[in-house]
Amino acid sequence: MAAIDVVIPTHDRPASLARLLEDLTEQSRSPGRIVVVDDSAPSEPWEQRYPNLPLHVIRPSQRVFVSSAKNLGWRACGAPLVAFVDDDNRLPLDLLDVLASDLEGHSTWGAVMPGVLYASRPDLVWVYAAPFANDHRWSYRLLGRNAPRDPQLEQRILPTDALPNLSVIRREVLEAVGGFDERLPVNSSGDLCQRIKQNDWEVWADTSVLTYHDVEAPGQPMYWASHTLHDADRLRWEIADWLRFQRRWNPSRLFGPRAGYHSLHFLASHFVAVGGLAPTRLISHAAAAVGGFRQGLGPPSEPRNAKAS
């Protein structure tokens, strides 16, 4: 049985992290090490609160965002398998065991994700898998998204082109591709997934195990802006990362207009959700959106550690 370590990036969500750490105490396959990368100000004394967990807490001196936090985390691990778990997850008891067993049983698999339900609405799917839609790499076909659970999509192995929210990845794969690309500070899982596949590894979703995403469910206030409502910096990087990802993997002479068109749904939904904020907050979000577009439409960058074709 292969050892598995866990990496949790977290920022200013102590209640969510505490619930996740409680879930990790009950896993049927215990993690060898749990690396929490906490750039909150101030950070909680997690080691004192959970003395029975194999916790190692990294506290950067400044905010590092998700991709850098994940890289700091996995490089502090020693196990051959690494689980990356966002802090707003609630875990079933067998989650680590099922996903680790997938990689143990399939030597060509480099990474695997579970299906994801809403924690507040476990009858509702957050996503089963995220393969690309039929428009090259411009959008994802989010299987099951915001729909009632579908038995035909559970107990399945499904293709995916992103690793949102939670995944288990072989350490040798992370070393081969250089980990997460920190030039995409927030949203680098899609880019990582493409680089893993480019290096001849397979990436799958296993919906025989389901995790629970503890975020606002559809129909709740601020549903679309739950991660960016109080975080204009994250909004800026969400936009910039998506544009850079698209420009890198789906170049086009008409990239600017097409990227703007594909961004409209996210932007419109976000600003509808934050419409009740104070004018100064709205201005900061508008400035962040403009900054995200300026950064995302800047000079393209090559993928890190991509395999030469």
Other C-beta atoms closer than 10 Å to the C-beta of 105 total 8
DSSP H/E element including 52: none
Judged against a pLDDT cut of 50, whether residue 309 lies above it is answered with: no
Walk me through the domains of the chain, giving residue ranges and CATH numbers: 4-213 (3.90.550.10), 223-296 (no CATH)
CA angle, corner 165, sides to 160 and 170, nearest 5?
65
Q: What is the pLDDT of residues 172-203, one digit of tens each?
A: 999 999 999 999 998 899 999 999 999 999 99
Judged against a pLDDT cut of 80, whether residue 126 lies above it is answered with: yes
- Low-confidence winner among 94-103, 161-170, 176-185, 222-231 (lowest mean pLDDT): 222-231
Let me know if 148 is exposed, middle or buried by CB neighbors in 10 A (0-12, 13-18, 19+).
exposed
Give the residue-averaged pLDDT of 290-300: 75
Q: What is the pLDDT of residues 3-56, one digit of tens each?
A: 999 999 999 999 999 999 999 999 999 999 999 999 998 889 999 999 999 999
Entry pTM: 0.86
27-39: burial string, b at 16+ Cβ within 10 Å, e else: bebbbebbbbbbb
